[in-house]
Amino acid sequence: MKRLFGGRRNNDGNRKLTIWAISLPNGTNSRRGNVPMGISVFLRNTPEDFELTTSKSMQFDPNNNVVKLCLQGMRMEGKGKPEEAVGLFLQAWNESTDDAEKFIAAHYVARHQNIVSDKLQWLETALQFALKINDDTVTSAFPSLYSNIAKCYEDLGDPDNAKKNSALAASFHEQPSDKGPFYHGTKADLQIGDVLTAGGGSNYKPELQMNHIYFTALVNGAGLAAALAKGDGRERVYIVEPTGSFENDPNVTDKKFPGNPTRSYRSRAPLKIVGEAADWARQTPGELRQWREKLAAAKGDIIN
């Protein structure tokens, strides 16, 4: 394992203050790295090897510390503060404990590298962890990962590896293979055997008629959708089966986070209710208020 120490020069231009120490992937050269806004980065070797362990299926949790750090980093990016953003992404990498967390953190660190070889190292690290996960939470991220890696090889004058990774990017298909179980959250009082169909109004833009019916493989995600749904009924999370083909929800897939970590899908075909879930993580009133405020402030169109 390698350790990265970063700091910012004082006004005298000489002394450095250490502001983080993070683990770096095996194989990174012992040389000066580069991140934006004047942060100086140095790589120092230690004898240990960086080891990958077999990953369980990635389970997205908005309360996960690494996820929260990355969200904070994205907010700093939005405010035009890349120095603070990269510090948070590096902290997320340092505090990552499993393949899913390391994949997400490496993805964000990669985009703050100005030296092509450093960017390539972080992209290939993110890819390595994504391949360890290798399920529907990450497969939609593979095309962009391979494309970005190909661009790095092209910039480095390595056309063979550029062509190889471009071909890998083109080899992935968008059709998910997730087997569920699947859930749909609502306040509607429905029965086993009923079907849910597209054509209803959006919970977030009432004037918009939806062309798809949406569902997820995460019961807590469906529970949140039920809590935010229109209506005065009690929150219901139904277990559903798609009756036709379905796709990754493009409104969340490869947006804030790479891949589809929330395992969110949509279909033009009906969903059949086959059961009802009784146990999921409920949001507090304060958390629901924050979610509603975020949705009200959200910009951009729904991909319908």
pLDDT, tens digit only, all 304 positions of the chain:
333 333 333 344 433 333 333 334 444 333 333 333 322 223 233 333 333 333 344 566 777 899 999 989 988 988 999 999 999 999 999 999 999 999 999 999 999 999 999 999 999 999 999 999 988 888 889 999 999 999 999 999 999 999 999 999 988 866 788 888 999 999 999 999 999 998 776 666 666 677 899 999 999 999 988 988 888 889 999 999 999 999 888 888 788 888 888 889 999 999 999 999 998 988 888 888 887 887 777 665 666 5
Model pTM above 0.75: no
- Give 184-200 as a DSSP string: EEES----TT-EE-S-P
Pairing of strands 271-277, 2-9: unpaired
Are the CB atoms for 145 and 127 separated by under 8 Å? yes
CA dist 148 and 165 (Å) reads 9
Residues 6+ apart with CB under 8 A from 27: 121
Tally of CA atoms within 13 A in the half-sphere of 29 that contains its CB? 10
Alpha carbons 95 and 122: distance in angstroms, whole number: 16
**Contact between 52 and 35 (Cβ < 8 Å):** no
User: Rounded CA gap, 158 and 149, in Å?
Assistant: 11
CATH match for 182-297 among 3.40.50.10860, 3.20.20.140, 3.20.170.40, 2.40.160.20: 3.20.170.40
Domain layout of the chain by residue ranges: 2-137, 182-297
Q: What is the pLDDT of residue 55?
A: 38
> What's the pLDDT score for residue 93?
96
